[in-house]
Every structure is written in C-alpha cells, then in structure tokens.
Amino acid sequence: MTTETRPPHPPTTTSRQPAWEHHDVLDLDDFSVAEIETVLNLADRMREILDRRIARVPALRGYTVVNLFFEPSTRTRASFELAGKVLGADVLSLTANTSSVVKGESLIDTVRTLRAMRTDAIVMRHSMGGAPYLAAAHTDASIINAGDGAHAHPTQALLDLYTMRSHFGDLHGKRVVMVGDISHSRVARSDMWGLAAMGAEVVLCGPPTLLPRGLRASDRPAHAESALPAVTIETNIDHAIEGADVVMALRLQSERQQGGLLPSLHEYARLYQVTEERLAKAHPGYLLMHPGPKNEGTEIATDVASGDNSTIEEQVTNGVAVRMALLYLLSGRTEAPGEPSSEVRA
Amino acid sequence: MTTLAIHNGRVIDPALGRDGIADVVIVDGRIARIGPNEGDMVVEAERIDATGLVVTPGFVDLHTHLREPGFEYKETIATGTLAAARGGYTTVCAMPNTSPPLDSRASIESVLREAEHSALVRVLPIGTITLGRAGKELSPAGELFRSGVVALSDDGDAVADPNLMRHALEYSTQFGLPIAQHCEDPALVRDGVMHEGWVATRLGLRGRPASAEEIMVARDIALAELTGAHLHICHVSTAGSVALIAAARERGIHVTAEVTPHHLTLTHEEVAFHTDFRTVDYITNAKVNPPLREETDLAALGIALRDGIIDCIATDHAPHASMDKEIEFELASPGLTMLETSFALSMKLVHDGTLTLPVLIDRLTSGPVRAWGLDRRTGLEGLGTLAPGALGDVALLDPNAEWTVEPREFASKGHNTPLGGRQLRGRVVATIFGGRVVHETDRVVAL
C-alpha cells in the first residue's frame, strides 16, 4: 500500500478522545461508524459557532489550507474557504489546470511544492478518479478529497449524513433513495458507504444506462460481497420512492444525452424527475435533498426544490460546519474549538 | 570447437515428446547430442550440473515491446534482451509500436542492425499492419516481408476499420504472414481505463467491457474466413473470446492465439486492492490493455491454454518508466514489464494443477513456434526444440524455487509490475543462447 511510507496517524491520546484515525479524507469507505459520529458530533459544535453573530474563532490559527481545484467549482470551494476562515486558518484557493499536468507539471510536483511552503492541508478537486490518492501517497500534508472524477466526494456525504441525522436522529432503517445518474456520481458513491455504515437502507434509482455494473451483490463473486455496500437497484422511480424517508435527486448533465445514454432530457424528466406527485408515496416527513447544482425541470421539479421538505439550502450551511469539523480533526488540535474565551474579539 | 555439456537434468522437450533425465551437449552453438550420460562421452567441455533442474528449449516470445527506437528511456534492445535472457527467453518478436513505427524496410533494418550489436538473444521484428500505425493505409507488407518481419501488427491499437482489416488480411496471404491483432473495438472501449465490472464501479473509473474484445475477435474471425488469411489474436483476455476462437478452429479457420501470464493469473482486483477490500488504491502498475479481467475469464483461459485452443503464452512485455506510471490512473501508460516474471507467474497454473509442466513448456517453446511457423519462416531449423542440429538455445529451470519479486533488481528498465514484493514459485536458473550462457544464477553448479 502506498501509504505505508506515510507518517503515522496523529495519535489518539486518551480513551476519552473521540475516534479519529485519519491523516487524509479520501473517501468514506475506510471510516468506522465511530469516526463518522466523531465528525458529526463535532459538526454540531461547528454549526453553533457558524450561527453566532460573529462567526470567527482562532482554533486553526497558523494552520494553512490550500484549495487545489483542477475542476471548476463554486459551492464546494467557497464552503471550504469559509470553513477554514471561520476557524482562523489561512486559506489559499488555487485553480489549477489539468492541462498543465500534461505539460509536465505533475500532480506530485504540485503537492510537494505546496507542502514545501508549509501547507498543512490540501483540499483537492480533480476530474480524474483517484487523483487525491496519488497526492496523498506523495506528501505528508493532509489531503481532503473535494471530489475526484466519478469516484468519491466524502465531505458531501458527511454533510448529507449530518443533515439526515439532524432531522431523524438515528439513520438506522431509514430508506434513502438516490435518483439519477448513479454511474457518474461521486456523491452517490460516497453516500452509499456512509449510509450503509449508519444502517440506512440504500436504494439507487436511474435508467439502466446510468447504473454502473456490479452494484448488485449477485453481480460480484462471493468473496467480494462486502467490497461494495449493500444497495437495492430500482429502475422504476415510483417503486423506489414508495416509503422513502429521504429522496435525493442527483444532477443530470446534458452531456449524457449527447453521449447516447439517454434519448432526450425531456424523456428523462418524464421518467425520473422527482415531482410532488411522486413524492406523495414517500414516508410522511420525508426529506428532499440535492447535492447541487440542480437543474430544475430536469431531475427535480421547481416546486419541490423549494418546498417544505427540501433541505437543499440547509445542506449548504451544514457543509460549512462539516468541513470545519474535518479541518479541525485533521489539524490534530485538541482544545475545544469554540470556547468563548478563545474567541476573537470583534 | 567449444562444447557445453548440461548434465543430468530433467529434459523436457515437448516437440520431441521427450521428458526424462538426460544430458544435453551443445557443440559450436548447436545441439549435438541429447540422452542419458551423453555428456560423459565428450572429453573437453564446459560442464553444468543440472541435477534437480529442468532443462528445456529456450523460450520464444511472440509479443515483446523493446521500445527501441524512440522510447529508449523505457527500454532498449540491450536491456530488453537482457531481461529476456533472465526470463529464460532466447527468441523475442519485437512489436513495431516504436517511434518511428516499424513500417518500412529502413526501420526494420535499423532494428536488426542494432540487435546485431546489442541484443543478448535473438530478435525477430514484427512490422506494422498500417502506415504509422494510423489505421488508414496499408504498410508495404512485401517490403517488410523481404526485410525479415515474422508477422504484422498494429498492437497497442486495433485496426478498427473492418474494410482495411479485410484487405490487410487478404494482402498478407501472398506472403503467408500472420496478422496479429490487438482486439478491442475502440468505439466500445471509448475512454475506458480498466475492465468494466464491479471494481471499476467502486473506483469510479470508466470501463472497457469484455464485449469490446469479443466483438473484434468475432469480426476478425469472419474476415479470416472470408480471406483465408492467418489471423493471430494477441493477448486473449476473456472467456467469450476463447469460445469464439475454439469455434473458429473447429471450422478450420486459420486462427492462432496467445495469452499473457498476467491475464492468466491476475484479476481486475489488482487495480484497486492491496490486501483487503476496506480501502482502495489506484494501482497503475496493474493498468494494461486489454485489462485484467475476472476469475471466470482466468479459468477459461487456463483451460484453453491446456487444450491448445490458445497456442502459447506471450509476455506482452511492456516496460514503462516511473514517469509514465506515477501519475493519475487515467493518464498512466498501459502495460506490465513481464519477461523476468513470465515463467514464475505462469507456473501458478502448474502448481494449481491446470497444466502439467510439459504442457506449460510447450506453450513457452514449441507452441509459439508452431503458431507462426517461425522455424520455417526464419530458416531457423529446430527453433524451440532440442533436436540435434537445432540452435543451442536452452533454459534451465527450478520449478519449485521460491523467490520474491524485486522490480528494482530487474534487468529491464521497466519496473512496472504489480508483483513487487510477492513470492513466486518457479525460477529461471540459467539461459543459454547459441551455446553461450547469457544468464546464470548462483544455483548453477559448474562441474
């Protein structure tokens, strides 16, 4: 394993210390339930800081975070930037270009250079699956995966879990339905791991052309049964939504139609759009989620996106809190982050 | 007169149907005698004690990337043939995807000249099917044939255009040259980077479906039937391809096939997992085209090799520098360096009972020679055998010796293998090319 050469994880000092073994956040597949709870519990405290009149504490003073984005992003980048700033970290955002990689400035060079400048954490968004793993294997700065290709988006998954938990308390046995382009969705992949760990029932719904192979345990050899989370596959959205506690619509990119995966966006909307009428079959008190940015009128109807059950904006706020919690945990700092005594005076 | 006597080994020569303790005597580069105690009959000789070892003809590889000219940072004819010698190979067929590609007499001759200077074992060049490997126009097959190529191939890429492939096959019949096709339909492969299956799904990587290979195998078999040409399927990787090839051979179509040691023994799980399924990695050293497949494919390939539906093992030795592999998975160059691990990895099929040792040796020696008629094509009589009069190309093997793969110790410039640190069972103890020892380990005991 490439991480063998890495320095050991920050030690967990006492048994009262919350569970946390991570030097990087690459995906949720290697998170224990206890670690997920550590993040979510700390995010509660961060959410409280965030909601203060003056949302600024010095908990990460002297900690340097670089947002290294090889792919355009507004919300994730802003979310990390604010998360770092609220905690008093120095945050630098770089928009890198994948073509510079091809031209010879390798990803490895880039992360090593940033580390040489004493960067503590690199938040990375990349169009290619696995790029953060390559980075993590070649630097001892903490790498946070802010989305890699179609592979993973662990901070999105954590904020989704946080949002669900804040409504339901316990996710055990909750029916969570993700609808849309599962094949190309890093959100769905990371959510699957987190939801399965927390005991939720995961239902994936989409047209067969947008469902990746091997998701059904029966499509894998026996020894690999646990190699992906247990999920249910459903191509009929009405069946999928029946009794759902959470319905999450995924962004559908118009390229899928040009790529021959869909006859038309119109037909997609007719077959898979999350609508008021379809949501009538969901469990009362259901949550309607979307990782954004959303295409209203395609994967989600406008009225439900802004309806009473929608948590879309709440997810955005929670995203900042969850990312604050992650940065704080990765920093290895242990004093309580939001004590009034440590607050910066306005 | 120089004489080399190899004493008391278990001599396995599938072409001669020989398997028993014997001595092999090589005089002036050619096999002179073979039989029990024959070595004692010669008076003055260099002697090797092969007691406890297996003595076979030197291996023949139909599929080697030597990278010269153009990619000398990955491999050269000198380093590639040293790697071949370490792997027990005494004849390697050099693939033409160099820079420039081997699509002219001049480029073939330059490779042969360089080989004469720096090669440690025999290099037989393969020419391209199409000019510049561009898949648009035919290469001058007649000129290439007269320059000494043993086959034509655009390996690395398929000849995608079925009409051009039809003509390539048709045209080749006048020279009797095999057309060696890398079967993967680019329209189905698109930008896939690994086998399409659950591992690709977990990694979020785009897949290359098994059907992309099978469609082209089926297509080219139909074209071989139409034209009566000799079609050779490179690196077969799926159970579906095996079924198609078996059916074609049943119908008498001239189709031959090879399989690599890695497609026989490694699955797509190599790409993602080091020890368990808890966390993933993106292991570019397991990236190869066609990709590593699934257990069911491995099983079908092993049986097909045993039954002779697949003629031989070929390494597809594809050395790359670390800069080609220590990058994002999607950008990493495909291929494994394989010459030095080929025998040991293939021995897994003997250890697990799929193949007998003599059958494995056949697929490494006389199998490839038969597939392409290499002896007749090159005038190298007895190639791949230990028949008296044949070239003194011999491998000394210890089928049960365990060793740990240490890529940094490879003779090849390419250290790109997912086998690093792994224990393999089966070792090439010495290699003799034209009566000269070109590789020996400390296991070799001179008498």
Q: Does the pLDDT at position A100 exceed 90?
A: no
Q: Tokens representing A203?
A: 């239902």
Give pLDDT, residue B444.
80
Q: Name residue B409's amino acid.
A: E
A200 close to A171: Cβ distance less than 8 angstroms: yes
CB contact under 8 A, B282 and A149: no
- pLDDT tens, position by position, A116-171: 999 999 999 999 999 999 999 999 999 999 999 999 999 999 999 999 999 999 99
CB contact under 8 A, A227 and B282: no
Give pLDDT, residue A99.
54
Give pLDDT, residue A88.
97
Label residue A213 left, alpha or beta by phi (over 0 means left) and psi (-120 to 50 means alpha). beta
A24 close to A124: Cβ distance less than 8 angstroms: no
CB contact under 8 A, A130 and B200: no
Q: Between residues 30 and 59 of chain B, which touch chain A (CB distance below 8 Å)? A: none
Q: Which residue of A has its CA nearest to B277?
A: A227
Q: Which residue of A has its CA nearest to B201?
A: A212
The superfamily CATH assigns to domain A154-315 is Aspartate/ornithine carbamoyltransferase (3.40.50.1370)
Nearest CB neighbour to B326, from listed A108, A149, A215: A108
Rounded Cα–Cα distance for residues A146 and B200 (Å)? 20
Domain with CATH 2.30.40.10 in chain B: 3-54+392-400+425-446
B18-27/B3-13 β-pairing: antiparallel
Give pLDDT, residue B309.
98
Q: Which residue of A has its CA nearest to B267?
A: A221
Give pLDDT, residue A14.
47
CB contact under 8 A, A134 and B199: no
SS (H, E, C) chain B: CCEEEEEEEEEEEHHHCEEEEEEEEEECCEEEEEECCHHHHCCCCEEEECCCCEEEECEEEEEECCCCCCCCCCCCHHHHHHHHHHCCEEEEEECCCCCCCCCCHHHHHHHHHHHHHHCCCEEEECECCEHHHCCCCECCHHHHHHHCCCCEECCCCCCCCHHHHHHHHHHHCCCCCCEEECCCCHHHHCCCCEECCHHHHHHCCCEECHHHHHHHHHHHHHHHHHHCCCEEECCCCCHHHHHHHHHHHHCCCCEEEEECHHHHHCEHHHHCCCCCCCCCCCCHHHCCCCCCECHHHHHHHHHHHHHCCCCEECCCECCCCHHHHCCCHHHCCCCECCCCCHHHHHCHHHHCCCCCHHHHHHHHCHHHHHHHCHHHHHCCCCCCCCCCCCECCEEEEEEEEEEECCHHHCCCCCCCCCCCCCEEEEEEEEEEECCEEEEECCCCEEC
CB contact under 8 A, B329 and A126: no
Report domain extents, chain A. 2-152+317-332, 154-315
Nearest to A323 by CA among A154, A192, A191, A140: A154
Mean pLDDT of A281-292: 97
Q: Which residues, listed in sequence order, are joined to residue B56 by a DSSP beta bridge?
A: B395
- pLDDT tens, position by position, B271-294: 999 989 999 999 999 999 999 999
Chain A interface with B: residues with Cβ < 8 Å: 1-2, 26-27, 29-30, 101-102, 106-108, 126, 128-131, 133-134, 148-152, 186, 189, 212-215, 219-221, 224, 226-228
Give pLDDT, residue A5.
43
Q: Is B327 on the interface with A (CB under 8 A)?
A: yes
The domain made up of B57-378 has a fold known as TIM Barrel (3.20.20)
- pLDDT tens, position by position, A307-329: 999 999 999 999 999 999 999 99
Mean pLDDT of B83-104: 98
Rounded Cα–Cα distance for residues A303 and B21 (Å)? 85
Nearest CB neighbour to A213, from listed B196, B280, B282: B196
At residue A11 the predicted structure's pLDDT band, cuts being 50, 70 and 90, is very low
Q: How far is B196 from chain A (nearest CA, A)?
A: 7
Q: Does the pLDDT at position B194 exceed 60?
A: yes
Q: Does the pLDDT at position B314 exceed 60?
A: yes
A56 close to A345: Cβ distance less than 8 angstroms: no
CB contact under 8 A, B331 and A148: no
**Does A154-315 match A2-152+317-332 at the fold level?**
yes
Give pLDDT, residue A36.
98
- CATH architecture of the domain with residue range A2-152+317-332: 3-Layer(aba) Sandwich (3.40)
CB contact under 8 A, A106 and B327: yes
Q: Is B190 on the interface with A (CB under 8 A)?
A: no
Q: Tokens representing B105?
A: 């007499």
Q: A29: burial class by Cβ within 10 Å (0-12, 13-18, 19+)? A: buried
Q: Which residue of A has its CA nearest to B199?
A: A214
Q: Which residue of A has its CA nearest to B276?
A: A227
How many C-alpha atoms does A174 have within 13 Å on its Cβ side? 26
Q: How far is B297 from chain A (nearest CA, A)?
A: 12
Give pLDDT, residue A258.
86
- pLDDT tens, position by position, B370-409: 999 999 999 999 999 999 999 999 999 999 999 999 999 9
Give pLDDT, residue A345.
41
CB contact under 8 A, A228 and B329: no
Task: Compute the mean pLDDT over every residue in chain B, rounded to the nearest whole number.
Answer: 97
Give pLDDT, residue A10.
46
Pick among A128, A193, A210, A220 to test the B interface (most B CBs inside 10 A): A128
Pick the CATH number of B3-54+392-400+425-446 from 2.40.50.140, 2.30.40.10, 3.30.70.2190, 3.90.76.10: 2.30.40.10
Mean pLDDT of A190-194: 98
Q: Name residue B407's amino acid.
A: P
Q: Does the pLDDT at position A346 exceed 70?
A: no
Nearest CB neighbour to B204, from listed A129, A214, A215: A129
CB contact under 8 A, B328 and A29: no
Q: How far is A215 from chain B (nearest CA, A)?
A: 7
CB contact under 8 A, A227 and B202: yes
CB contact under 8 A, A101 and B327: yes
- Taking contacts as CB-CB distances below 8 angstroms, the residues of chain A near B197 are 213-214
Cβ-Cβ pairs closer than 8 A, A with B, add up to 95
Sheet holding B152-153, edge to edge: B152-153, B179-181, B231-233, B255-259, B312-313
B315 Cβ contact list (under 8 Å, min separation 6): B61, B63, B64, B87, B89, B260, B261, B338, B339, B342
- Taking contacts as CB-CB distances below 8 angstroms, the residues of chain A near B277 are 224, 226-227
Mean pLDDT of B113-139: 98
Give pLDDT, residue B327.
94
At residue A344 the predicted structure's pLDDT band, cuts being 50, 70 and 90, is very low
Nearest CB neighbour to A227, from listed B277, B281, B282: B277
Higher pLDDT pick, A337 / A116: A116
Q: How far is A300 from chain B (nearest CA, A)?
A: 24
CB contact under 8 A, B200 and A131: no
Nearest CB neighbour to B204, from listed A152, A213, A221: A152
Q: Is B322 on the interface with A (CB under 8 A)?
A: no
Q: Strand, helix or coil at A233?
A: strand
- H/E stretch holding A263: none
Active-site residue, from B103, B220, B311, B316: B316
Q: Which residue of A has its CA nearest to B278?
A: A30
Give pLDDT, residue B163.
98
- Distances from the Cα of A336 to the Cαs of A17, A50, A333, in angstroms? 12, 15, 9
Mean pLDDT of A285-301: 96
Rounded Cα–Cα distance for residues B445 and A311 (Å)? 77
Q: What percent of chain B has pLDDT over 90?
A: 98
Q: Strand, helix or coil at A319?
A: helix
Nearest CB neighbour to A30, from listed B199, B278, B295: B278
Q: Tell the residue number behind the tokens 């080749």, with chain if given.
A: B172
Q: Which residues, listed in sequence order, are joined to residue B232 by a DSSP beta bridge?
A: B180, B256
C-alpha torsion sign, points B315, B320, B322, B324: negative
Give pLDDT, residue A341.
43
Give pLDDT, residue A186.
97
Q: How far is B330 from chain A (nearest CA, A)?
A: 7
B38 close to B26: Cβ distance less than 8 angstroms: no
Rounded Cα–Cα distance for residues B142 and B171 (Å)? 9
Q: B42: burial class by Cβ within 10 Å (0-12, 13-18, 19+)? A: middle
At residue A103 the predicted structure's pLDDT band, cuts being 50, 70 and 90, is low
Q: Tell the residue number behind the tokens 């993590």, with chain if given.
A: A136
A284 Cβ contact list (under 8 Å, min separation 6): none
- Taking contacts as CB-CB distances below 8 angstroms, the residues of chain B near A224 are 198, 269, 277
Q: Tokens representing B423?
A: 């224990």
- Distances from the Cα of B8 to the Cαs of A77, B14, B53, B76, B387, in angstroms? 72, 18, 8, 36, 17
Mean pLDDT of A255-267: 92
Q: Does the pLDDT at position B351 exceed 70?
A: yes
At residue B303 the predicted structure's pLDDT band, cuts being 50, 70 and 90, is very high
Q: How far is B124 from chain A (nearest CA, A)?
A: 35
- DSSP label of A53: S
- pLDDT tens, position by position, B209-267: 999 999 999 999 999 999 999 999 999 999 999 999 999 999 999 999 999 999 999 99
Q: Does the pLDDT at position B204 exceed 90?
A: yes
Nearest CB neighbour to A134, from listed B204, B279, B282: B282
Q: Strand, helix or coil at A116?
A: helix
Among A86-100, A203-217, B38-52, B385-399, which is the least confidently predicted range?
Answer: A86-100
Reported ipTM: 0.93
Mean pLDDT of B112-121: 98
C-alpha torsion sign, points A296, A299, A304, A309: negative
Q: Strand, helix or coil at A57?
A: coil
- Taking contacts as CB-CB distances below 8 angstroms, the residues of chain B near A30 are 278-279
Indicate if B49 belongs to the active site. no
Give pLDDT, residue A342.
47
Domain with CATH 3.20.20.140 in chain B: 57-378
Give pLDDT, residue A102.
55
Give pLDDT, residue A104.
58
